Each structure stands twice: as C-alpha cells, then as structure tokens.
Structure 1
Amino acid sequence: MSYADATLSRVRTVHHTLPERLAALRGPDVAPRPLDARALAALAANPGCRRRALLDAAGVDKGAVAEALGAPARFGQSRFAFSRGHAFEARVKADGCAELLRLLGADGAHAEVPDLGAAGPEGRAARTRLALAEAAPGSWTLLDHPLLALDVAGSTVFLEPDAVAVAPDGAWTVAEIKSFPILDGGADAVKVGAAARQAAVYVLALDAIEAGRARTDVLLVCPKDFSNLPTAEWVDVRKQLAVTRRQLARLTRIEEIAAALPEGTTFDPARPGPDLTAAVDSVPAAYAPECLSSCELAFHCRDRARAADSVDALGRGLRSDLGALTTVGAVLSAATSAPCDGEDDPAVTALRRAAALRAEALRAHPTS
C-alpha cells in the first residue's frame, strides 16, 4: 500500500470512528447534550478554545462537569422565565400563527404550517429541507421549530429556531421569539445583541441549504411594554453573520483535537475528581473574562489561569497588547527592569514608560 493510500485509509478510519470517539469522551451510557445556537454563538466568539469546541461537539454536559470539579457556574434562565417564554411563544403562534403573520406584514393572510415531525434529528433536518423546497410560491409557509443542520469543525450540529417563514417571493425569514420586553419602541441592547448573534447562526445554517435565500434581517418578537401583547422589530444581522462565519471557519477540526488526547480520556462527571480534572486540563483552553457569562466551565478555567499566573485572566484586549509577555510575573518584571541594548519590544517599552509615569506621579503627589 502506498503512503497516500495508507493516509487516506487512516483518514477514513478517523472519520468513521469519530462519533464513537465522541461518545467515549462523554462516558458510558451518558446521553449527549445537544449544542444549540446560543452555545454555538458563544463558541464562535472564542474560536481558540479547543476545550469548549471538543466538549460541545461531544455533547458533554459542561454544567455537570463543573459541579463535579467544584467550580459551578450559576447562570441561565430561571424556571419562571422559561415558563413565561413558552407561554408567550404559544400566544404568538396561536390561531395558525396569526400574530406572527401580522408582525411579518401579512395581516389576515393564511399560511401553510407543514408537519416537520420525523424520527431522529437527521430525519427532522431532512423534513425541514423538504418543507423549504416544497413551499408553494405566491403564498406564505411557516415552519414551526424546524431543525437545521450545520457543519462545525467537522461535526454536525442541529439547530432549532423558533420559526422560519417562507414569504410569497420565496425569501426565508428567521423569527426569534423572546420574553424580554420592547419598551417604548426599544429593547435592552445587550439582550438584542445576544438574540442577533443567535439568529445569525440560524441564517448561516439556512445558507448551507441554499445560499442567498435567507434574509439577513431577522424578526425579533417580544412582549410590548409591560403587557403580554406581541410586538416586533427587524434586526440586521449582517455583521454578526460575517463574524460568526469567520470565527467558525477558524475552529480546529474536532477530530484533530480528539486525536491529541491520551487514550482512555473521558469527561464523565461520575469519574473521581482528580481523574476528571486531569481529563479536562488535557484539552487546551482559551479563557477570557467574557467566558463567565457564557460557559459553564468558566470558573474552573479562571482558577487555572490564575494559578498559572496567566495574563489571560485580565482580558483579551490586554492579552493582545502584551504580546510575548504571557504571565503577570513577566509583565511586572518587564515594567521594573532596566532596558537592555537592542531591546525593542513595544509592549515592554510601554510598560516601562507607564511605570516611570506612575512613579513620577507618586513623587509629585505623595499619599498622606
């Protein structure tokens, strides 16, 4: 067998065994946790984190792992907010999605709502593609909780938007239904931004079916003021779409990350603490303070970054400015040491200048 044939055979073997490998990483009899658009948007915001990419692709319950490591993260929707969101969505979609059609600008129109039920996520995704293809021209079709498939670093991710509308002109529109209010014509900018990043993932998945059919402005449906009456605003997600597409393309392929792990590695939360810690730490992470609001393992990664004296714990912006200085100790040493001949590191020069200015200010205004 030639070298090329042997290489091709190995690649095919890795491809065919990747699902089994990812299942082994979860642990025996551990059900996979599906990766949703919110988590995918967070992953796209930090594409250098191999740890999150691998654990999400394997369907590992990062919350359970964080609990087992003694570093749980407390965030997410409360049960009350979850129930309120479901009740509001049911109202928007009642009576053949009449309210949703009104908000789409088709008040009084009738829409076909095809049945998207099928066995397994692959079947539901195929049924969604078929429904999009069969949507009758000249009339409205509404897909209630369709399932979209997206390839992420060599692993298939299934995504479920609240609704996708097919307009009479054939354009596809993503509708995101949220329970936070639109007050006096405007909503919380942070929440709208998060919804836009999530919706951009859905548009990206629709583009994978047929490029150019999905609109880049999505319909954000929310309660009006302090009532439960639905209102909406159009959100342009072109910027979020471009960023998400670029960041996901930068992700290292999952099989490459998995292949670098020691044999027998598993992230089963039932494992003994030291073994689970070693397994998690065997995958490189890219911690940043922003992770605290979007990743269940953020507190564990922060503790590890602090223990290693890493400047990652100070934020991406500062980390980028510091260049080759990767530890807090190195930063402090560079700021206080005397310059050497031929040294031209701009980060070191800036640190020494800042230290000199600070010392001068303290001499001019000594504390009492």
Structure 2
Amino acid sequence: MSSFPPSGLPQTTTLRQRLADLRGPAVPPRPLDARALAALAANPGCGRRALLDGAGVDKTALASALGSPAAFGQSQFAMIRGNSFEAKVKGDGGAELLRLVYEHLGAGADAAEPGPAGRARVPDLTAAGPEGRAARTALALREATAAAAWTLLDHPMLALEVAGSPAYLEPDAVVVHPDGRWTVVEIKSFPMIDGTADAAKAGAAARQSAVYVLALERIAAVVEGAAVGHRALLVCPKDFSNLPTAAVLDIRKQCSVTARQLARLTRVEELAAALPEGLSFDPSRPAGELTEAVEAVEAAYAPECLASCELAFHCRERSRTADAVTSLGRSVRGELGALTTVGAALAAAAGAGDQDDPTAAALHRAARLRAEALESAALPTDPLPEALGCPC
C-alpha cells in the first residue's frame, strides 16, 4: 500500500514546479541529450523513463540510491582522446572537415561554389543559457543559408519538444552547403577499419543523428531555401592512426522510426498528474521510499534496456521478481499474448492452461513435439552404417 496521499496534480501548480518537486528541490535538472532521446524512442511504452527524463532526474544517482548502479559513460582517457581527435578534425577553420563533407556529399548541383575553398565560415554561437544558444543557432542557420557559402556550426544548440517537455541537443557539428543543405556531422573516436566502422557503434551514431535531423527540420521549415539532409557524415580515425576519415550514414529509416516513436510518448504533464502528491525521486531520500516512488510509475522493461538505461538493472530485478515474461525480451512477450508470467507460460506448455486460448494450445503442442523429438533422439542410432563397417 502506498504511503503517499492519493491526490493528483492541482491545477494551480505549474508543470515546471511539479517536475522540480519530483527530482528534488535542490537537484539541478539533467538535460536530455540525443543518446537519451534515441533510447527513449526505442522504448516509447516506458512511462518511467519518459517521466524521469522529462523531469530531468539524474538516473545514475537514482540507480545508485536504489542499490542497482549501472556503469555508463566513457572513461576519462576515452573522453580526452575523443576531444583531441575532434579538435584535430575541426582545426584550421574546419578545412579538413569541409574536405570530407565535400568528398562524400558534394556541394550540390545548383551550388554557387564548386567546393570548399580554404576555411569555412564559422559563426559565433555563444549566448546565455540553452534557450539563447538555440535561438542564436537558428539565426546562424538562416544567415548561412542566405549567404550560399560553406558554413561550419561548431557545437550548435538545437531545441526539440519531447512529450511536452523541451529538450536541448548539441551535435558535434552541422555543415551548411552552398545549395542550402544542412548536414549533421558526428565525430567519434572509435576507429574505422578499412573504411568500415563497428556496426553497433555506427548504428548508435545513426540514431543520434536522426534526433538532430528532426530538430533541424523544425528550423528548416521556416527558412527559405533550406533542406535538411537525411544522410549524415560519420567521422572517425582511419584504421589505427589519428588521421580522420569518414563514411556516409543513410538515416532515412532512423528518422522515420524515431519521429513515430517520439510522437507516441505520453506527455510529461499527463504522467506527472497521475502521481500522488509528495512523491519524489530525490536520490537523498531513503532507498525504501525511492523504490516505492519508482514503482508508482509504470515501466516497460526489455533486455535491450541494459545497454541504454541507468535504471535497467533495477527494472530487471523487479521484472524477475514478478516472474514477468518481459525479462525474456519483447519478441517473447509479443508471442505469449495474455500469458504475462513465466509460470503461466510453463503451465500452458504442460497442458494446465486454457486450451481454448490459441497461445496456450500452441505452447502445449510445441512442448509435446519437443518431448517427442528428445525421445526419438535417445533411441539407438541407425544400425546400417555399423553393418556396413563404417568407422563413423
């Protein structure tokens, strides 16, 4: 039984204040990044992650307070190496980066300039706060498109509304082509061996780039002559050197899937309004109270969460405790239909389930066929090879 009074969100309480109360009055909000949004889009049915990310809760600290810490993030050495490589790629006014963009994506058939000559235009994007930086980025994109010249935006700030809550995103770079195209550039420190990057890492970079493209499309919609390219450029070290090389990422599918999944997310205010007053995810609170607070928000755990969510180990433990089939994966959960627990699935396989249920009947038949196959495998082998004197 919950110890929180069952009251919804009062109409006089603003959403901003409510979210601040959820994460803790003294806890600063943790901003959403493209990696978090890509993971959120991959599991739009998880209200727990949507609410925690929308409220800016530090899930790493929360997981530690719950006793189920997850090791996420790069090592200090990897971060230093990545920053050094990025500085090398963007050095000399972005000449090397522009060369890679032109080599792989061109300037466009109607471009005024055939190729980048020397340094690109690199506008100053500094401003106060994320809102100011996002506005300054939008202005720089508009000016660069009107100028019809190669322009490099170094760490621009993009805004994207997710489930009714604003998210501010910072790609490594955005290049404006002379023909008005905007290209997202992802700079990573993992190597590209023989022109090919690790498939899993390249896929993660593609999903992040898709989030940036969705944010850029909202700006391009009001900028005359602008078009956001659905081919991003992945820049990595070549082989085992520190020399940059690049590959084109076709992210049309990722953009479509991410947009559809983000649109399915329940709005943050709806999730917050359904919670009892006084509930908080402040990591300084006792573990028992935090566990009760987390369990008040519905989750949709899947094994894939282990690679992208800080609360995955906590959710996996609760899923296993509840004997839920979600711990076996989304595909298994989808196949089992109304059988939501492992025990119910095993009972159906043993013939104790409702045989009028097609899923239970199919499980029982599969278990019977498996038993027959194992029984057949235990029989003596075909005597013909032995009779023929075959040594096998």
Q: Indicate the TM-score class for this superposition, using the shorter chain for normalisation.
A: over 0.9
**What do residues 27-50 of structure 1 show as CA deviations (whole Å, max 9, x unaligned)?**
021011111000100000000000
RMSD in angstroms over aligned alpha carbons? 1.9
8 Å contact 1:102–1:108 — kept in the other structure?
no
Structure 1 match to 2:88: 91
| Match status 1:123 vs 2:132 | yes
**What do residues 154-197 of structure 1 show as CA deviations (whole Å, max 9, x unaligned)?**
00000000011111111111011000111111111111000000
8 Å contact 1:92–1:100 — kept in the other structure?
yes
The alignment-based identity, stated in percent, is 68
Structure 2 match to 1:250: 264
Structure 1 match to 2:198: 188
Structure 2 match to 1:5: none
Structure 2 match to 1:275: 289
| Match status 1:363 vs 2:375 | yes
Structure 1 match to 2:186: 176
Structure 2 match to 1:3: none
Letter in 1 for 2:140: A
| Match status 1:108 vs 2:122 | no
Distance 1:338 1:118 in 2: 66
2:141 to 132, 143, 159: 132
SS at match of 2:14: helix
Spell out the pairing of 1:142-157 with structure 2 (5 A cutoff): 142-157=152-167
| Match status 1:226 vs 2:223 | no
Change (3 A) 1:152 1:339: closer
Following superposition, the deviation at residue 138 of structure 1 comes to: 2.7
Distance 2:148 2:220 in 1: 19
**What do residues 255-287 of structure 1 show as CA deviations (whole Å, max 9, x unaligned)?**
000001110111010001110111111110000
1:47 to 27, 35, 44: 44
Matched residues, number: 356
Change (3 A) 1:339 1:306: closer
SS at match of 1:112: coil
Structure 2 match to 1:68: 65
Following superposition, the deviation at residue 339 of structure 1 comes to: 7.0
1:304 to 302, 318, 322: 318
Following superposition, the deviation at residue 240 of structure 1 comes to: 0.3
Change (3 A) 1:12 1:94: farther
Structure 1 match to 2:299: 285
Distance 1:238 1:80 in 2: 34
**What do residues 310-343 of structure 1 show as CA deviations (whole Å, max 9, x unaligned)?**
00000000100001110011101111125767x1
8 Å contact 2:171–2:184 — kept in the other structure?
yes
8 Å contact 1:137–1:170 — kept in the other structure?
no
1:26 to 8, 23, 36: 23
- TM-score w.r.t. the length of structure 1 is 0.93
- TM-score w.r.t. the length of structure 2 is 0.87
Distance 2:313 2:66 in 1: 10
Following superposition, the deviation at residue 98 of structure 1 comes to: 1.0
Structure 2 match to 1:4: none
User: Which structure 1 segments of 5+ residues have no match?
Assistant: 1-9
Structure 2 match to 1:337: 351
Comparing 167-176 with 16-25, which one deviates more in the overlay? 16-25
User: Which structure 2 segments of 5+ residues have no match?
Assistant: 1-7, 103-114, 381-392
Distance 2:292 2:379 in 1: 47
Structure 2 match to 1:316: 330
2:230 to 197, 216, 225: 216
Letter in 2 for 1:160: E
Distance 1:340 1:229 in 2: 64
Distance 1:188 1:97 in 2: 25
